[in-house]
């Protein structure tokens, strides 16, 4: 019996319902469904509109999307080079441990090299030991001294109006 062929590709606007559903699935997995404030329409505008802010790659098996990576470009002043920040990496539960997450990360690493980026980075929840071990097995360093600072919702407006 033949093994299904994995394909990684850039998402297109027609993929929006699939992308949105995977984002909702990821939020549920991370026990963060309550934090989802956006909509598929707004996401579509930001991914595929006149001025895209982010990109998505999809992992497909036999034409079915089973994973995604949502990313955007950032910049390192110390490296004086752009980088890629992976906002979300998600593989549907029934398709995990098949190399799909690794293939998504490899695709982004190749993209980073092609674009002259100095690094590829992302965050991982501290309770997700299996993800941490997986990332470290690929050569990633989990930075112990850095903490994410975030201002959002009403606090973002308050800061803007100081």
Catalogue the active-site residues. 135
Residues in contact with 44: Cβ distance below 8 Å, sequence separation at least 6, in sequence order: 13, 16
Sign of CA dihedral 138, 149, 68, 29: positive
The Cα–Cα gap between 61 and 66 comes to 7
**CA 41/CA 47 separation, integer angstroms:** 10
Which parts of 80-141 are beta strand (E)?
81-91, 119-122
With beta carbons less than 8 A apart as the criterion, state whether 103 and 6 touch.
Answer: yes
């Amino acid at each position: 019996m033949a093994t299904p062929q994995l394909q990684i590709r850039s998402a297109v606007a027609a993929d929006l319902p699939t992308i949105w559903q995977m984002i909702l699935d990821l939020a549920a997995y991370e026990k963060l469904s309550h934090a989802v404030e956006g909509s598929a329409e707004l996401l579509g505008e930001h991914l595929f509109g006149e001025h895209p802010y982010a990109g998505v790659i999809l992992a497909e098996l036999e034409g079915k999307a089973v994973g995604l990576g949502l990313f955007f470009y950032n910049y390192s002043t110390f490296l004086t080079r752009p980088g890629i920040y992976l906002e979300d990496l998600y593989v549907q539960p029934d398709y995990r441990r098949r190399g799909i997450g690794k293939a998504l990360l490899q695709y982004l690493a190749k993209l980073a090299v092609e674009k002259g980026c100095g690094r590829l980075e992302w965050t991982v929840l501290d309770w997700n030991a299996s993800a941490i071990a997986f990332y470290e097995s690929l050569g990633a360093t989990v930075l112990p001294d850095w903490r994410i600072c975030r201002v959002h919702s009403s606090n973002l407006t308050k800061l803007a109006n100081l």
